[in-house]
Amino acid sequence: MRPKWKLQTSEPPDLGPLTDESLAALRSLAKYKPEPEPCPDSIPAFRRAAVLLGLFGGRHGDLYVVLSKRAAQLRSHSGDTAIPGGRFEAKDHDLEETARREAWEECGLPMDSRRVQKLCELEPFLSANELVVTPIVVLLIDPLIKPSLNPNEVDALFSLPFKAFLTHNPAQALRAQLKLPLVPSAKDLEDMPRNEVSEPSDWHTCRDILWLGGHRVRRHTFWDSRNPVRGLTSDILIHAASIAYGTKPDFSLDAPGQLSQAELIKLAFLGPMAVKKRRVRPRMTMLPQPMDDDNHGAAKGDSSSTSAPSSEGTSTQTDDSPKSKL
């Protein structure tokens, strides 16, 4: 029997067998310390949000992440894939409480830290609507947790292999977990958006945008059959998985000259385009396709950042649907 994840509790729960790789990933997350915020005093409370990135062990000991499909009737980002979360409220003690409260309100995930234990906090990320979103990574300990969805906010919950967000063309074992055909069909590949930084894939594509006065940013999409994972949701998952597994993604992560999330936050709150209003219209321009300066697909470091959709519009959706959907 494989070893189990040991937790600092009075009665360590039985999580079931986890692979050595999964145990190492959880330990890496538990030890992680985020970089300091770039300009905390310049970010008003009403422009802060948090998301709860929930992990659990699958039947074969691999880690999975909990995702939601936003309700169709929501005014912003309806139907998008999200990590449960939302805006900070005055009654919240801190951003961890924000993330837990929102996950409880949306999905019925318990706020009890003994059942849903915090592993780490990640650096904050700038959303499409220029909210500063802090991801809180947690481990779902209690196997008896039964989600209860708020139909006004969430249509469905589903999960995906955590490690899948580090790969462009998944290996066969991972393709089986993702319920992808063992070999992608020529038609599936033909239907995918084209770019010049990676080979065709039926799982991962990317596209560049111009944001905040013409700064180039790369957005990634993962084509799950139930609902695509895209924008800042995918960015969070890429960043968190990179920390957990100690490796960079095998695709080109950043656009040439892309600013870090800390730099984007400074630009939004300290620069000439500093946010003054409570709501901001996304200031983005789509580019035809991503292209690296050296025209190859090697990963370019992990300075990119991530955040996920919330009930107040913390996601970014780009028009990179397959050709068959256009």
The type of residue at 131 is L
Segment 131-143 shows an average pLDDT of: 95
- The pTM of the full predicted model, rounded to 2 decimals, is 0.80
Segment 97-102 shows an average pLDDT of: 97
User: pLDDT by residue (tens digit) across 180-237?
Assistant: 877 667 776 666 666 656 778 889 999 999 998 899 999 999 999 889 999 999 999 9
- The pLDDT score that the predictor gives to residue 58 is 92
Q: Is the pLDDT of residue 160 over 70?
A: yes
- The pLDDT score that the predictor gives to residue 162 is 98
Q: Is the pLDDT of residue 28 over 60?
A: yes
- The pLDDT score that the predictor gives to residue 319 is 40
Cβ atoms 166, 250 nearer than 8 A: yes
Cβ atoms 68, 150 nearer than 8 A: no
- The pLDDT score that the predictor gives to residue 9 is 35
What counts of helices (H) and strands (E) characterise the chain?
6, 12
CB within 8 Å of 152: residues ≥ 6 apart: 71, 73
Partnered with residue 70 across adjacent β-strands are 154
* Percent of the chain whose pLDDT exceeds 90: 57
- The pLDDT score that the predictor gives to residue 71 is 87
User: pLDDT by residue (tens digit) across 233-272?
Assistant: 999 999 999 999 999 999 999 999 999 999 999 999 987 7
Cβ atoms 209, 216 nearer than 8 A: yes
Q: Is the pLDDT of residue 310 over 70?
A: no
| CA distance linking residue 310 with residue 103, whole number of Å | 10
* Closest by Cα among 140, 134, 155, 131 to 79: 155
Q: Is the pLDDT of residue 83 over 80?
A: yes
User: pLDDT by residue (tens digit) across 36-72?
Assistant: 999 999 999 999 999 999 999 998 999 999 999 988 8
Domains and CATH numbers, the chain: 20-158 (3.90.79.10), 167-325 (no CATH)
* Closest by Cα among 63, 14, 35 to 244: 63
